[in-house]
Amino acid sequence: MIALALRQPVVLIASRLTTKRRAMTIVGWASGPAEEIVRLSLVLFFLHSLRDAAWAGAGWMTVEVVLTTVNGLLIASLLTKDDPKSLEAKEYLREQGMMQNNGPAWAVVERFSAAGLHIGFTLLIFAQPWLALATIAVHSCTNMLAVRYAKRSIARTELAVLATAIVVLTSGIALAR
C-alpha cells in the first residue's frame, strides 16, 4: 500500500503537466522505483528469514490481487451506466486499452506472472539488497512492456511477462537459498 501511495504524487504531477498518454508513461516508469524502494526497506528492516521473504512477496501479490479485483468490479459497474461522467471514464479506459474483453484466461496468466515477479523480486533483494537496482529496472521495463504491447497482442504480451516472471522467480529462489 505504501508503494502505491508513493506513486500518487507522480500521478498527480504528471497528469497536470502533460498529456494523458505521456502521464501514463511517466507513471509506468515510476512504478519500479516506488515499489522496489519500499520492498528494499521491507527486506532491510523487517525480514529475517527466507520464509519471511517468500511470505512478504506473496503478501505483496495478495494486495495487488485485492486491488485488481476491486478495480475490476468498479469497471464492471461502470459499464452499466450511461451518465456523462461514466461515459467519460469509459472513454478514458478505452484509450488506455482497459476495455478489451480478452477472456479470463489471460487475466489468470497475468496474476500468476505478478505473483512470480513479486515473490521473485522480494527473494532477490533478500539474497542481495544491492539487486534492488536490477529489480527497479526489470520491474519498470516489465510494466512498460505490458502497457505498450497489450493493445497489439495480449497473448504475446502476457507470455513475455510470464517468461520474465519465471526467470525472476527462479533466480530469486536460487540466490536466496
Sign of the torsion formed by the C-alpha atoms of 101, 103, 108 and 113: negative
The mean per-residue pLDDT over the stretch 153-158 comes to: 90
Least confident range from 31-40, 54-63, 91-100, 102-111: namely: 91-100
How far is Cα 63 from Cα 119, in angstroms, rounded to an integer? Answer: 13
Give the angle subtended at the CA of 142 by the CAs of 62 and 157, to the nearest 5°: 95
Percent of the chain with pLDDT over 90: 45
Residues 65 and 71: their CA atoms lie apart, in Å, by: 10
pTM of the model as a whole:
0.83
Domain limits of the chain? 2-176
Q: What angle do CA 126, 160, 26 make, to 5 degrees?
A: 75
